[in-house]
Amino acid sequence: MFYLIATLSSENRETRMPSQATETLETFSNPTPGRDYTIKIDVPEFTCLCPKTGQPDFAILEIEYVPDQLCVELKALKLYVVSYRDQGAFHEAVTNKILDDLVAATSPRFMRLTAIFNVRGGVYTTVVAEHKMDDWSPAPVISLP
């Protein structure tokens, strides 16, 4: 029999967590504010807690938005999403809270958040919440032959 014995140096014994969850959403300037275009972001590992049982709820967050002057920075978004890991929240409330926070940070022309929750008690839940800037209308859809 062969045995592998690993020894850890003092620098490998400690695991440092370089990034911590935060409730702050960072932004950057839209590089093309004169054009309507859509940014789609999928967050496949959203987790919060069921407020009734304390059990974890898992969801995929699908964010679609037409930026105005600001775009959301992706690492900051990831750390923001992680901040919900230990919070109890109903699906409807957490979806609308996340949308409200994203809208407050970026003031987009349009934003839609679709939260697709995994099964809980034999029931799947999908919550869709939208924001539209006053006086903004999307360009007509162009259908090519």
Based on the residue annotation, tell me whether 57 is a catalytic residue of this protein. yes
For every residue of 28-69, DSSP letters joined together read: EE-S-TTS---EEEEEEEEEEE-TTT--EEEEEEEEEEE-SS
CA distance 25 to 104: 9
* Catalytic-role residue among 36, 42, 48, 57: 57
Task: Put the strands of the sheet holding 56-66 in their side by side order.
Answer: 39-49, 56-66, 110-120, 123-132
* Catalytic-role residue among 36, 50, 68, 101: 50
CA distance 112 to 129: 6
Backbone angles phi, psi at 63, to 5 degrees: -110, 130
Supply 89's token pair.
């929240």
Would you please indicate which residues are annotated as catalytic (active-site) residues? 50, 57
